């Protein structure tokens, strides 16, 4: 069974640009989650999608947005990049609320 896949592995952007990160969940999983993990810090909840709908978002500005496609894959967009957006962005999938999350390998975003 293929795990959660994320692309790209690394992404280097300049301040003010936009970044798009992609995620494919485990087959059969309908929920996709996005987390930010800045260096040395814990996992900060960004977004939760389930069945194509945004169910919840964390305490992040509106320039962090995303969507979930009919095939349950997901995209995270970060507009007007700032230096502090540099972090590991982790996508995870599950069968839904209260089910274990399975993480992808992450996308390392560097903003210069």
Partner 1 sequence: QKEVEQNSGPLSVPEGAIASLNCTYSDRGSQSFFWYRQYSGKSPELIMFIYSNGDKEDGRFTAQLNKASQYVSLLIRDSQPSDSATYLCARGSSNDYKLSFGAGTTVTVRA
List residues near partner 1 by CB under 8 A: 33, 35, 41-43, 45, 48, 50, 55-56, 58, 88, 90, 97-106
The least distance separating partner 1 from the CB of residue 9, rounded to whole angstroms, comes to 11
Cβ nearer to partner 1, comparing 12 with 97: 97
The least distance separating partner 1 from the CB of residue 53, rounded to whole angstroms, comes to 10
Cβ nearer to partner 1, comparing 17 with 51: 51
The least distance separating partner 1 from the CB of residue 2, rounded to whole angstroms, comes to 15
Q: What is the DSSP letter of 100?
A: P
Cβ nearer to partner 1, comparing 53 with 84: 53
Of the candidates 62, 90, 98, the one whose C-alpha atom is nearest the C-alpha of residue 78 is: 62
DSSP letter for each residue of 6-65: EE-SEEEE-TT--EEEEEEPPTT--EEEEEEE-TT---EEEEEEETTEEEEE-S--TTEE
What gap in Å lies between CA 106 and CA 90, rounded to an integer? 4
């Amino acid at each position: 069974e293929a795990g959660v896949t994320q692309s790209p592995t690394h992404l280097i952007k300049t301040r003010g640009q936009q970044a798009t990160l992609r995620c494919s969940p485990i087959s059969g999983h309908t929920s996709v989650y996005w987390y930010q993990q800045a260096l040395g810090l814990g996992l900060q909840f960004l977004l939760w999608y389930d069945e194509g709908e945004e169910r919840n978002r964390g305490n992040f500005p509106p320039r962090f947005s995303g969507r979930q496609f009919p095939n349950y894959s997901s995209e995270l967009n970060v507009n007007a990049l700032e230096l502090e957006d540099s972090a590991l962005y982790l996508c995870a999938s599950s069968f839904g609320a209260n089910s274990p999350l399975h993480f992808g390998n992450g996308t390392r975003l560097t903003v210069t």
